[in-house]
Chains A and B, each alone.
Chain A
Amino acid sequence: MNRKPFAITLDPNSSLANHTGNWRTMKPVYVDRLPPCNQACPAGENIQAWLYHAEEGAYEEAWRRLIEDNPMPAIHGRVCYHPCETACNRGQLDEAVSIRAVERFLGDQAILHGWQVPCAPPTGKRVLIVGAGPSGLSAAYHLTRMGHAVTIHEAAAKVGGMMRYGIPAYRLPRNIVEAEVARIEAMGVTIRLNTRVEDLDATIKTGGFHATFLAVGAHLARRIDIPGVDAKRMLDAATFLSRMESPFPYKLGRRVAVYGGGNTAIDVARTAERLGAEPVIIYRRDAVQAPAFKEEVAEAAEEGVRFHWLRAITKADHDKLTVEVMEMDEQGKPKPTGRFETIEADTVILALGQKADTGFLRNIQGIRVSDDGTIEVDECMMTGHPGLFAGGDMVPGEQSVSMATGHGKRAARHIDAYLRGTLYVKPPVHPLATFDRLNGWYYTDAEQSKQPILALARRRATFEEMVGGLDAGTALLEARRCLSCGNCFECDNCYAVCPDNAVIKLGAGNRFAFNYDYCKGCGLCAEECPCGAIDMVKDLK
């Protein structure tokens, strides 16, 4: 009973008796959405999550979060074609977050400080991996972390696969490859170099392996016949680039013609430039249709590489090529015009794509080899032969270091399940955190940090790394440009804007909760959430 005079004095806080939550028809709920960078990452990184730690300057924590998915951040921070940045929502606000530059910074920090990776107790299971490229190394890393004993058989004299024999040193210094592979080896992975697998069945039996992952890559060049070519003066890109790793690289002529329009053609031309040649790229289609990344084309042009678009080589003589001028038809296909030109060239390098050398698998039961030489695998990355998995460039799909690394992780999860006699079930994926869900007003404009670039004269004459890394201050600033799309980063906005104090702040790291006793369902919190981490859902009682 209220014994105070009628309507004169009211007790403080007595309004709490009035549960205004029952006015509500919609209610807010906290959600986590899939940031577009994460969705785009071929290696399946949780980019937003590792940037969250990097924003605090907690670089080791950020790196540890990163290597849950990708064991080679220093490599990917240099060579990945960063589809994450293409997808980044910040790109619609000002410029994308330079995710790759921050990844590289974290990778370099790990090498600098010698951070190591702990493993689970041994399971007693043995796994054979064929190929020490990105896919094989990634699978080895994940399997070892799960406690399995991994042996890699590598045909080449050195580790790295395409990371060493395909990507030029000015993009990926070899000491970086060595450092990241050394860390994987330190976990207990055995790598046997100069060990080509000829008889797979015998190798598995002798080694007592319980499962096998094939990741031999795609090293066989596709070739075409060009009349008149003297075999001595015609090379293929894969052979040319891998010979760069031997003590005896090819001696090129002065005028080098590279035939092809992909990233490999660019790599070859830029390598030739550094060797002192005058490279030209010849491609049947136009610049727009060339599969090479535009950024790479522009960098090659800066360095002096010349381009002949819409030209098909028809004949090669001693020091010149005859090319036919092509034009694009309505279907976007190149068609011959009957007009011819000559281009001076004393060496021709074919960069027309590569395929896997899968001959050694011909007699394995259950394996299906496609017409293009790739091996068919199911959604578990398993071939038709039980216990035999495959990934990387030797299976259908995009051929890139990041894609191969992603295959390695996926295969490792399924191999682990196979060894345990279970099935790996992928956790459900959150719906996408789209740009329209963000409240851009709360973000301050900030330009992307730029990485230092080597002087042009040195780019043209040496194999020094072309792009420099970010320093600690710039890396921190760049990490903080992340909008944290679809995932709460504790900005306190919902807590502040609720007119009914119906948001409870749970303290640092614990986010917030709704007090549905008082939430009237106005939706202000959802509207003013910068990163779109609140949904309004029907709440009809």
Chain B
Amino acid sequence: MPEQRIKFYQTGTYTAGNRLLNEEARTVQSRMDRTNSLNSGHRACQGCGEALGARYAVDAAMRAAHDRLIAVNATGCLEVFSSPYPESAWQIPWMHSVFGNAPAVASGVAAALRAKGREDVKVIAQGGDGATVDIGFGCLSGMFERNDDVLYLCYDNEAYMNTGIQRSGATPPFARTNTTQAVGETPGNLPSTGKNLPRIAMAHGIPYVATASVADLHDLEAKVTRAMAVQGARYLHIHVPCPLGWGSDPAHTIKVARMAVESGLFPLFEAQFGTVVDRMPIRHKVSVEQYLELQDRFKHLFGPPRNTDAIAAIQAIADANIATYGLTA
């Protein structure tokens, strides 16, 4: 269930904190004693959505786990920018193995803790969309199937950004990447369905699946906190804009994410044991154009000539999401 929103007229309902609220009603990110699990000095680009999403999620997980947490990281931007030799930006026990095996390593860590009787320590695994929906997909499906006690966090920036913006199974239709150039009859990524990993995770019948966005901090933290209270395999898919790969202004990272949510392109929902149990209604509905226009990867749709068919097709995806999840309050 979405957390009880505090109706505050000035702010506080949506801002990170508010001096008029008691501490407990504010976000983890507004606290002076937040963990800063991913600390300064990392080498992410300006305005990196993934760096932001990772700190949001891991800080909330640390708070939920009373600071007893082990993180396993797949290869990807997050791993590369946070741990270039000889520096690490992590302030928590953190482990990196290879690109495709993060879920399997995390399963192993969980198994070792169980063998040692350490019920107090929790395990998370994290990776980008490449490591999650493509390269590590087999390991992840196995982790789900065995219902291992791990929270898997996917930071979805919709392409392989670290290696130079190549298409992934999570790249949206018509988006330009370096492997789906804006040329030819169908410029940009092919208008296929791609891989909808939250739905695939739900199909495994695991106890908890949810989507979140860096545009809604209260909702993101509430979902991490709820997921941390569940035993078994859990999956949280977090939308994190990438200014470099998407060709958006670094200052617009949250705005872009907000437009994705408010247009219906990135629905925020929660599922238990394969069934959607709640969704976050859209507050101020926007058209998909308002989302697409902020990003150079969709620039080719706006012409000349304007690709009205493609824009209509993307709008249809948003409209279908709105209908499927009931996003109009």
- A residues touching B (Cβ–Cβ < 8 Å)? 2, 6-7, 10-20, 23, 55-56, 441-444, 446, 477, 480-484, 489-493, 495-502, 505, 507-508, 515, 517-518, 520-524, 526-528, 530, 536
B55→A446 contact, CB < 8 A: no
Is B132 interfacial (CB 8 A cutoff)?
Answer: no
The segment out of B37-45, B121-129, B145-153, B163-171 that lies at the interface is B37-45
Cross-chain contact of B254 among A2, A10, A19, A527 (Cβ < 8 A): A527
Tell me whether B250 and A524 are in contact (CB under 8 A): yes
**Contact indicator A492/B26 (Cβ below 8 Å):** yes
Q: A10 to B52, Cβ gap below 8 A? A: no
- Given A15-B88, A492-B15, A530-B15, A480-B8 contact (CB < 8 Å): yes
User: A528 contacts which chain B residues (CB < 8 A)?
Assistant: 254-255
What's the Cα separation between A500 and B167 when bound, in Å?
A: 27
Contact B51 A500 (CB under 8 A): yes
Q: A444-B7, A522-B251 are in contact. Are A15 and B41 (CB under 8 A)?
A: yes
CB distance from A129 to the nearest CB of B (A): 40
What is the size, in residues, of chain B's interface with A at 8 Å between Cβ atoms?
Answer: 57
Question: Is the beta-carbon distance between B8 and A20 smaller than 8 angstroms?
Answer: no
Question: Is there an interface contact between B90 and A12, defined as CB atoms closer than 8 Å?
Answer: yes
Q: Choose one: A19, A499, A522, A530; the contact of B55 (CB below 8 Å).
A: A499
Query: Considering the chains assembled together, what is the distance between the CA atoms of A7 and B52 in angstroms?
Result: 25
Q: List 28 A-B contacts (CB under 8 A).
A: A7-B86, A10-B83, A11-B88, A12-B90, A15-B39, A16-B41, A18-B41, A18-B42, A23-B46, A443-B11, A444-B9, A480-B20, A489-B11, A491-B12, A492-B26, A493-B16, A495-B16, A496-B29, A496-B217, A497-B52, A499-B44, A499-B47, A499-B49, A499-B51, A502-B40, A507-B32, A522-B243, A523-B251
The B contact surface, by secondary structure, is: loop
Instruction: Give Cα A528–Cα B251 distance, bound, in whole angstroms.
Output: 8
- Taking a contact as CB atoms under 8 Å apart, the answer to whether A444 and B13 are in contact is yes
B→A interface (CB under 8 Å) = 7-20, 26-27, 29-30, 32, 36, 38-49, 51-52, 55-56, 82-83, 85-92, 217, 243, 249-255, 258, 284
- Which chain A residues border B243 with CB–CB below 8 Å? 522
Complex interface: chain A residues within 8 A of B87 (CB): 10, 14-15, 17-18
- Give the tally of cross-chain contacts (CB within 8 A): 172
Given contacts A15-B39, A20-B41, contact A501 B55 (CB under 8 A): yes
Alpha-carbon separation in the docked complex, A497 to B254 (Å): 8
Residues of B within 8 A of A56 (CB): 19-20
Residues of B within 8 A of A441 (CB): 14, 258, 284
The CA of A12 and the CA of B38, in the complex, are separated in Å by 10
A524 touches B8 (CB 8 A): no
A442 to B47, CA, bound (A): 20
The chain B residue with its CB closest to the CB of A446 is B9
Residues B258 and A491 in contact, CB atoms below 8 Å apart: no
- Which of A446, A482, A483, A518 is close to B41, meaning CB atoms less than 8 Å apart? A518
CB-contact partner of B250 in A443, A480, A496, A523, under 8 A: A523
Minimum CB distance partner of A484 in chain B: B10
Chain A residues, Cβ within 8 Å of B91: 12-13
Most buried by B among A11, A496, A530: A496
Other 10 A-B pairs with CB < 8 A, given A12-B91, A16-B40, A508-B19: A6-B85, A13-B90, A15-B43, A480-B10, A500-B42, A500-B51, A501-B38, A507-B32, A523-B250, A527-B251
Residues of A within 8 A of B52 (CB): 497-499, 524
Nearest-Cβ distance from residue B51 to partner chain A, whole angstroms: 4
Shortest beta-carbon distance from A500 to chain B in Å: 5
> How distant is the Cα of A520 from the Cα of B253 in the complex, in angstroms?
14
